[in-house]
Chains A and B, each alone.
Chain A
Amino acid sequence: MENHNEPLYLYPVWIRFWHILNALFCLTLIITGLSIQFSNPTIIVKFRAAVAVHNVAGVLLSFNYIVFFIGNLFTKNGGYYVIEVSGYFSRLKAQFHHYTIGVFKKEAAPFPVTMESKFNPLQQFSYVAVMYIVLPLVILSGLGLLYPEITVNSFIGISGLDYTDLLHLFCGFIVSIFMCIHIYFCTFGKTAISNFKSIINGYH
Chain B
Amino acid sequence: MIYRANVRPAWVVLVLLLCFAVAFALAKHSDSAATAKQADNHEVPEKIDMTKFKNSETNEQCLKCHGQSKYTYENAESKKMVNKRMYSELIIKRDEFYVSNHKGFKCTDCHSEEYATFPHSGNLRMESKANCIDCHGGDEKYAKFQFEKIDSNFMASVHSQKHSQDFTCWMCHNPHTYKINARTNDNLQETITYDNLICLSCHSDITKYELLTNKEKPNILVKHEWLPNQASHFTNVRCIECHAQNKDTLIVAHEIVPKNLAVKKCESCHAKNSILYASLFKYQVRENIKAKGWFKGLFLSETSTIGPDQNNTLNIISLALFALTILVILIHAVIRIQKSH
Contacts and interface: CB of A to CB of B under 8 A. Distances in A.
B8 A79 contact: yes
Interface string A124-165: 000010011100100010000101111011110111111001
Contacts, number: 126
B24, B31, B267 interface centre (most CB from chain A within 10 Å): B267
A42, A79, A132 interface centre (most CB from chain B within 10 Å): A132
B270 A39 contact: yes
A132 B10 CA distance: 7
Nearest to A47: B267
A193 to B, nearest CB: 14
Interface in A64-115: 69, 72-73, 78-79, 81-86, 103-106
A132 B17 contact: no
Contacts of B9: 81-82, 128, 131-132
Given A78-B10, A132-B13, A157-B302, A51 B266 contact: yes
Interface in B239-284: 265-268, 270-273
Interface stretch (B69-77, B166-174, B330-338): B330-338
Contact of A148 (B232, B266, B268): B232
A42, A153, A158, A176 interface centre (most CB from chain B within 10 Å): A153
Contacts of B266: 47-48, 51
A73 B8 contact: yes
Contact of A72 (B3, B8, B28, B332): B8
B318 interface: yes
Interface string B188-219: 00000000000000000000000000000000
A158 B333 CA distance: 44
Contacts of B14: 69, 73
Interface in B43-98: none
Given A104-B335, A136-B17, A152-B28, A159 B304 contact: yes
Nearest to A86: B2
B325 A81 contact: no
Contact of A132 (B12, B20, B315, B321): B12
B329 interface: yes
Contacts of B304: 159-162, 165
Interface string B19-32: 01000100110010
**Which 4 residue pairs of A and B lie closest in terms of their CB atoms, listed nearest first?**
A159-B304, A40-B271, A47-B267, A161-B304
Interface of B: 2-14, 17, 20, 24, 27-28, 31, 35, 228-229, 231-232, 265-268, 270-273, 296, 299-307, 309-310, 314-315, 318, 321-322, 325-326, 329, 332-333, 335-336, 339-340
22 contacts: A40-B268, A40-B273, A47-B266, A47-B271, A72-B8, A73-B10, A85-B3, A85-B5, A86-B2, A132-B12, A140-B20, A145-B306, A149-B232, A152-B27, A153-B35, A157-B300, A161-B304, A161-B305, A162-B304, A165-B306, A169-B318, A180-B322
